[in-house]
Amino acid sequence: MTVFDIVRYMPNQTQQFDRIFHALADPTRRSVVERLSVGPAPVSELAGRFNMALPSFTQHLGVLESCGLVRSKKSGRVRKYYLAPQPLKAAESWMVRQRAIWEKRLDQLDDYLQTLKEKQSD
Amino acid sequence: MTVFDIVRYMPNQTQQFDRIFHALADPTRRSVVERLSVGPAPVSELAGRFNMALPSFTQHLGVLESCGLVRSKKSGRVRKYYLAPQPLKAAESWMVRQRAIWEKRLDQLDDYLQTLKEKQSD
């Protein structure tokens, strides 16, 4: 069983990654994540940042909430949104892992070339 | 000028992020990135991993190539694909940054609560 097979056997995580990356593929949604990383905010403040009809903006919030990047809580009459960093961390780890494998391979290639060079100079 | 304004003034990077995250929002394309992180591969080997018509698979490769995550080079009759980790690193940095801001805020909140606690016990 290879790493690729393991990934294929994890349908839930696969779908979660689909949703997280899809959520981040939009500048408005990324801006919301950027804003919420400095602290929670009510929908009115978030919507005020964007020149956009409220229903469209609410849809963006829905996309962010359904993949778990953002959560909301009603307190009195105001619904506040806040960042839930776990999905961000999961997606980030996937990326870091791919780069690490790639960099390890480059290092191995480097070692191999070094060995060849040393053999030639023997 | 806030961080959010600066991000908005960088249309090229914004569009690049749109494309990178869109490219990664698909399990087939993520599998290609995973495979290429261990080394270059010809299209025939990549396509062989997926139960998919070649034109559909080629479209996926096109999406990965157009956002810069993957590059290709023809050598003789074979076109080989390889990973270009720079876009991965850029998207990863964006995520790390958001988490770092979020974690710093939590630390500050923690310090503040600690100060309150100490004041109470004085």
Write out pLDDT tens, residues B30-73: 999 999 999 999 998 999 988 888 899 999 999 999 999 999 99
C-alpha to C-alpha distance for A10 and A15, rounded to whole angstroms: 9
Q: Name which residue leads in pLDDT, A113 or A85.
A: A85
Answer whether residue A7 shows pLDDT above 60: no
Chain B positions in Cβ-Cβ contact with residue A102 (cut-off 8 Å): 36-38, 83, 85
Contact A102 B37 (CB under 8 A): yes
Mean pLDDT of chain A: 86
- Reported as a pLDDT band with limits 50, 70 and 90, residue A36 is very high
CB contact under 8 A, A17 and B34: no
- Please identify which residue in the block is written with the tokens 């080997």: B45
| Contact between B21 and A21 using a beta-carbon 8 Å cutoff | yes
Disruptive mutation site among B38, B71, B93 for chain A (greatest number of A CBs within 10 Å): B38
Length of chain B: 122
Q: Exposed, middle or buried, A64 (CB in 10 Å: 0-12/13-18/19+)?
A: buried
- B35 close to A (CB below 8 A): yes
If you write DSSP's letter for every residue of B55-70 in order, what string do you get? Answer: HHHHHHHHHHHHTTSE
Backbone φ and ψ for A70, nearest 5 degrees, come out as -135, 145
pLDDT category at B10 given cuts 50, 70, 90 is low
Predicted TM-score (pTM) of the model is: 0.82
Q: Summarize pLDDT for A48-75 with one digit per residue, the tens.
A: 988 888 899 999 999 999 999 999 999 8
Q: Is B61 on the interface with A (CB under 8 A)?
A: no
